[in-house]
C-alpha cells in the first residue's frame, strides 16, 4: 500500500472514531416519547409534550411513538428504547415488582419516576333498585369489573381486597367493557359496574340519564389500606345526574417515567419544561388540567430520577405525608 494512501486511510479511520465517540452525547438530544393509542389521552399529550420540548430544550429532537400504553411503555424504557413514557400507577408498581400476571417477565429495575400527572378515578356505580349503597352491599350482587387483566380489572381486585371482599363474595362477575356494562345495567342484567376513567366519563353519564344510580363510596381508610399507587379523592357533587352529594373515592395516578440511564441534566430540563408549560398541555387535553406541582410525587411507586428530584427540591416539593 502506498504510504500516502495509508496515511489518508489512517486519518479517515481516526476521524470516524471521533464521530462514533461523539454519538452517545448526541443521542441525548433525542427524546422519544412513549404514549398509547392515537385515540386515547396519552397520545395527544405526548404530541403536546413534543412541541414543549422542541420549544424549551435547546437542541432537543423529540419524537412521539404510539404504543399499547403502560405495559409496553415500561418494557421499552427498561430496554432504554425511549426517554420518557406515560403509564398508570398500578402498572408502574407491578412492573417494578416484576409481576408476571400483569405482563412483566421480570423486575423492571431501571425505571425511574419523573412526575405524577392526572388521575384515573375508580368509579363504582350501582342501579338504585339494586339496594347497593356501600362496598359491603356488593356481596351476592352482579358486578362488571372490566376486561380480564385490564387496568380497570386490576383496580377492581385492589378495591375489593381493601374492603375485605373477593370475587367469590359476589353473586356474579362480568368482565365487560364500559359500554357493554351500561347496557346490561339498563336491562337489569347487572347490579353495578366499576370503571376506571376520568370524571364525567360518557358511559356513566349515559347510564345516569337512563336509570337512577348510586355512586358507591370508597372510604379513605380503605384507600389507605390499599396503599400506593392508590390515592384518596372525591367525586364532586353533580358529576352525574342524580348524584347530589360529593362521594369519597379512590384514584390511580398516571405518571411520566424514564430510566436510570438518562443523564441528570436532561431529565431536569424535561421536568422543568413540563411545569413551565402546563397551559399548553391542558390545551391539548383537558386531563392535563389536573397536573399539579404540589402533587408531583404523590404515590410514586418507583425511585425518582435524580434530575427530576433536583427540580422538585428547588421548588420545595415533597412527597405528600413526608
User: What value does the mean pLDDT take over residues 68-86?
Assistant: 93
Contact 201, 249 (CB under 8 A): no
- Residues 272 and 196 reside in one and the same domain: no
- Residues 235 and 265 reside in one and the same domain: no
Q: Is residue 96 part of a domain?
A: yes
Q: Is residue 30 part of a domain?
A: yes
- Residues 125 and 231 reside in one and the same domain: yes
- Residues 114 and 127 reside in one and the same domain: no
**Of 123-127, 153-157, 242-246, 302-306, which range is least confident?**
153-157
Q: What is the CATH number of the domain that holds 170?
A: 3.40.190.10
Contact 49, 62 (CB under 8 A): yes
- Among residues 252, 272, 288, the one where a domain terminates is 252
- Residues 270 and 240 reside in one and the same domain: no
- Residues 114 and 39 reside in one and the same domain: yes
Q: What is the reported pLDDT for 70?
A: 87
pLDDT band at residue 71 using 50, 70 and 90 as cut-offs: confident
- Residues 102 and 130 reside in one and the same domain: no
Q: Is residue 213 part of a domain?
A: yes
- Among residues 201, 225, 252, the one where a domain terminates is 252
Spatial separation of the C-alpha atoms in residues 241 and 212, rounded to whole Å = 8
Is it the case that residue 313 has pLDDT exceeding 60? yes
Q: What is the reported pLDDT for 322?
A: 65
Contact 229, 93 (CB under 8 A): yes
Higher pLDDT, 161 or 17: 161
Spatial separation of the C-alpha atoms in residues 148 and 297, rounded to whole Å = 29
User: What value does the mean pLDDT take over residues 69-95?
Assistant: 93
Contact 141, 107 (CB under 8 A): no
Q: Is residue 140 part of a domain?
A: yes
Is it the case that residue 18 has pLDDT exceeding 50? no
The alpha carbon of residue 34 and the mean position of all alpha carbons in its chain are separated, in whole angstroms, by 12
Helix (H, G, I), strand (E, B) or coil at 208: helix
Is it the case that residue 72 has pLDDT exceeding 80? yes
| Tally of domains within the chain | 2
Helix (H, G, I), strand (E, B) or coil at 256: strand
Q: Is residue 101 part of a domain?
A: yes
- Residues 266 and 191 reside in one and the same domain: no
- Residues 96 and 213 reside in one and the same domain: no
- Residues 112 and 97 reside in one and the same domain: yes
Instruction: Give per-residue pLDDT as tens, 108-145.
Output: 999 999 999 988 899 999 999 999 999 999 999 999 99
Q: What is the reported pLDDT for 297?
A: 95
pLDDT band at residue 319 using 50, 70 and 90 as cut-offs: confident
- Residues 134 and 152 reside in one and the same domain: yes
Q: What is the reported pLDDT for 203?
A: 85
- Among residues 218, 252, 286, the one where a domain terminates is 252
User: What value does the mean pLDDT take over residues 25-37?
Assistant: 76
Q: Is residue 48 part of a domain?
A: yes
Q: Is residue 32 part of a domain?
A: yes
Q: What is the reported pLDDT for 39?
A: 64
- Residues 124 and 175 reside in one and the same domain: yes
Q: What is the reported pLDDT for 220?
A: 97
Spatial separation of the C-alpha atoms in residues 155 and 121, rounded to whole Å = 10
Contact 180, 163 (CB under 8 A): no
User: What value does the mean pLDDT take over residues 61-83?
Assistant: 93
Q: What is the reported pLDDT for 1?
A: 55
Q: Which domain holds residue 18?
A: 13-118+254-315
User: What value does the mean pLDDT take over residues 93-118?
Assistant: 93
Q: Is residue 2 part of a domain?
A: no
Q: What is the reported pLDDT for 120?
A: 85
Is it the case that residue 314 has pLDDT exceeding 80? yes
Q: What is the reported pLDDT for 149?
A: 66
pLDDT band at residue 239 using 50, 70 and 90 as cut-offs: very high
Contact 215, 243 (CB under 8 A): yes
User: What value does the mean pLDDT take over residues 27-55?
Assistant: 87
Amino acid at each position: 500500500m502506498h504510504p500516502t494512501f495509508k496515511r489518508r486511510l489512517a486519518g479517515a479511520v481516526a476521524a470516524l472514531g471521533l464521530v462514533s465517540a461523539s454519538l452517545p452525547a448526541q443521542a441525548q438530544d433525542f427524546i422519544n416519547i412513549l404514549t398509547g393509542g392515537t385515540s386515547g389521552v396519552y397520545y395527544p399529550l405526548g404530541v403536546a409534550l413534543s412541541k414543549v420540548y422542541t420549544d424549551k430544550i435547546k437542541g432537543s429532537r423529540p419524537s412521539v411513538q404510539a404504543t399499547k400504553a403502560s405495559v409496553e411503555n415500561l418494557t421499552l424504557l427498561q430496554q432504554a428504547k425511549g426517554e420518557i413514557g406515560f403509564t398508570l400507577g398500578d402498572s408502574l408498581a407491578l412492573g417494578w415488582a416484576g409481576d408476571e400476571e400483569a405482563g412483566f417477565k421480570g423486575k423492571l429495575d431501571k425505571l425511574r419516576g419523573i412526575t405524577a400527572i392526572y388521575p384515573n378515578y375508580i368509579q363504582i356505580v350501582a342501579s338504585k333498585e339494586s339496594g347497593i349503597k356501600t362496598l359491603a352491599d356488593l356481596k351476592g350482587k352482579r358486578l362488571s369489573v372490566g376486561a380480564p387483566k385490564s387496568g380497570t380489572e386490576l383496580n377492581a381486585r385492589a378495591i375489593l381486597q381493601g374492603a375485605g371482599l373477593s370475587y367469590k363474595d359476589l353473586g356474579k362477575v362480568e368482565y365487560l367493557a364500559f359500554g357493554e356494562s351500561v347496557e346490561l345495567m339498563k336491562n337489569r342484567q347487572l347490579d353495578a359496574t366499576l370503571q376506571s376513567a376520568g370524571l364525567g366519563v360518557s358511559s356513566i353519564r349515559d347510564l345516569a340519564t337512563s336509570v337512577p344510580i348510586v355512586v358507591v363510596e370508597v372510604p379513605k381508610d380503605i384507600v389507605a389500606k390499599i396503599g400506593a399507587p392508590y390515592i384518596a379523592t372525591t367525586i364532586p357533587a353533580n358529576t352525574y345526574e342524580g348524584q347530589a352529594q360529593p362521594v369519597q373515592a379512590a384514584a390511580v395516578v398516571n405518571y411520566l417515567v424514564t430510566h436510570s440511564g438518562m443523564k441528570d441534566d436532561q431529565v431536569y430540563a424535561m421536568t422543568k419544561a413540563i411545569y413551565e408549560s402546563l397551559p399548553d398541555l391542558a390545551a391539548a387535553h383537558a386531563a392535563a388540567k389536573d397536573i399539579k406541582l404540589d402533587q408531583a410525587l404523590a404515590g410514586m411507586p418507583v425511585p425518582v430520577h435524580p434530575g427530576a428530584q433536583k427540580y422538585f427540591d428547588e421548588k420545595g416539593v415533597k412527597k405528600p405525608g413526608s
